[in-house]
Structure 1
Amino acid sequence: MTNDHLIHTLKNGLIVSCQAPVDSPLYEPTIIAAMAQAAVNNGAVGVRIDTPTHIRAVRERVQVPIIGLWKQVIPKYDVYITPQFHHAVAVAVAGADIIAIDATTRHRPGGETVAEIISHIHQELDKPVIADVDTIEAAKAAAGAGADIVATTLYGYTPKTNNDSPPSWELLTQMLEELKIPVICEGGISSPQMARHALNLGAYAVVVGTAITGIDLQVKNYQRIMQNGE
């Protein structure tokens, strides 16, 4: 399958992010893989998976595209989604079809620019790149740097946007108007109706995580509201 065909298989579909906190019993690779298979069995066109270990487990269970990433906490740096090329290599070797990277304008570890890491992924791994961004400026820069897809993933999670809550329909609309590559809506989608709205606006596909697979956060939210009346 060519990279263009691979990306096309995601069009107008639901991508389920199957992740769990490190301290959760759901963090077991077999459980993440079961989540992914359940999502695919019910129509998900792709899955988004963190860590090489989980990607390998999921690869054994599903045939749909895996968007792979590796979250890394590196002292003195805020960039954490596949921050360096060697992380992308590990993700690709584990079985990911598409590599997600942090493509915000924040300072990156190792001195690699967004353009350099995208170029390395294309040339050395032959994998498409999803650029996770927070602003229209970062989105345009990522597209200019060669990203195959941009996603609204980091809106609300960076210093420039942490006073805002996802999803940002405004950012999604700006990206759709100003970019010529596929735009994926990710972050804050908590109902099928919201996912449909994103597609109606023109999103290429929609990623949903917490609302489907985030048992830990969902239960915490229920408990907080039920106990505190928020």
Structure 2
Amino acid sequence: MTPESFTALVRGRLIVSCQASQGHPLRDTAALTRSARAAVAGGAAAIRCGGVGGIPDVTAIAAAVNVPVIGLTKDGTDGVFITPTVAAVRAVAGVGAEVVAADATFRPRPDGLPLAASIAAVHDAGALFMADVATLEEGVAAAEAGADIVATTLAGYTGPGPIPDGPDLDLVHALRDRLPDALIIAEGRYHFPATAAAAIEAGATSVVVGTAITDPQWITSRFAAALTPG
């Protein structure tokens, strides 16, 4: 798959993230595979998956859906933990993911290698590289290093302040201004259809939504809280 063909498939459309953390009731590869199939039936243009489920989740979902899969692994919860090493990106690319997502922030990587090494490994495997960034400067640097896709996945998560409630639409605007021809994906706290649509208006090529679609525990808690007497 080329950046152009991937762009043609996802432009102006929804990407759904099907992941579940350890201890979550849906932390099961088979359950998440069914979730991915349901998302595709509902109109998802691509699926982002893996996370703590790692290679088994990516393998199963890639085999079960007929849309591109953005695969990743998660190793720990601190620092660079999204597909954090060259070995990790190679593993994800090797099981059917058309796109490999990885942390592309300026924080040190566990294997001590530069981001460019992970990008090269993904390209060598015939896949595309999705750079998960937190800032404009990181997005520009990732694009200059050869990333095919720049995503706002980590905006608000690298400190030092608290995590915002809503998405970082300003970062989407800024990335589009600096990278007018880039494939930019908005991700991170898109909890309502209106904010997803706003991201496209801000210049995003596509939008990733996860929790608000694929986490019934989180969705139920929002409704339950709204009905609880004050």
Common topology (TM > 0.5):
yes
1:93 matched to 2:97: no
Match of 1:66 among 64, 69, 75: 69
TM-superposed deviation, 1:31: 0.7
Q: Distance in 2 between matches of 1:141 and 1:165?
A: 27
Matching residue's letter, 1:181: A
Matched length: 226
Change in 2 beyond 3 A, CA 1:61/1:115: same
TM-superposed deviation, 1:222: 4.4
Q: Aligned residue for 2:81?
A: 80
**Secondary structure at the residue paired with 2:65?**
coil
TM-superposed deviation, 1:105: 0.7
> Does the 8 Å contact 1:72/1:80 carry over to 2?
yes
**1:11-66 Cα shifts (integer Å, max 9, x gaps):** 11100001112212311111101110011011110000011111111122201000
**Secondary structure at the residue paired with 2:111?**
helix
Q: Aligned residue for 1:23?
A: 23
Taking only the aligned residue pairs, the percentage that are identical comes to 38
Change in 2 beyond 3 A, CA 1:161/1:102: farther
Q: TM-score, normalised by structure 2?
A: 0.91
Matching residue's letter, 2:28: E
TM-superposed deviation, 1:71: 0.7
Q: Aligned residue for 2:43?
A: 43
Q: Distance in 2 between matches of 1:44 and 1:188?
A: 17
Unaligned runs of 5+ in 2: none
> Does the 8 Å contact 1:14/1:206 carry over to 2?
yes
Change in 2 beyond 3 A, CA 1:162/1:118: farther
Q: Which deviates further from its counterpart, 169-178 or 89-98?
A: 89-98
Q: Which deviates further from its counterpart, 165-174 or 93-102?
A: 165-174
Q: Aligned residue for 2:7?
A: 7
CA RMSD of aligned residues (A): 1.8
**1:164-221 Cα shifts (integer Å, max 9, x gaps):** 3441111110001001311111111111111111112221000000100022333344
Unaligned runs of 5+ in 1: none
Q: Distance in 2 between matches of 1:137 and 1:127?
A: 24
Q: Aligned residue for 1:57?
A: 60
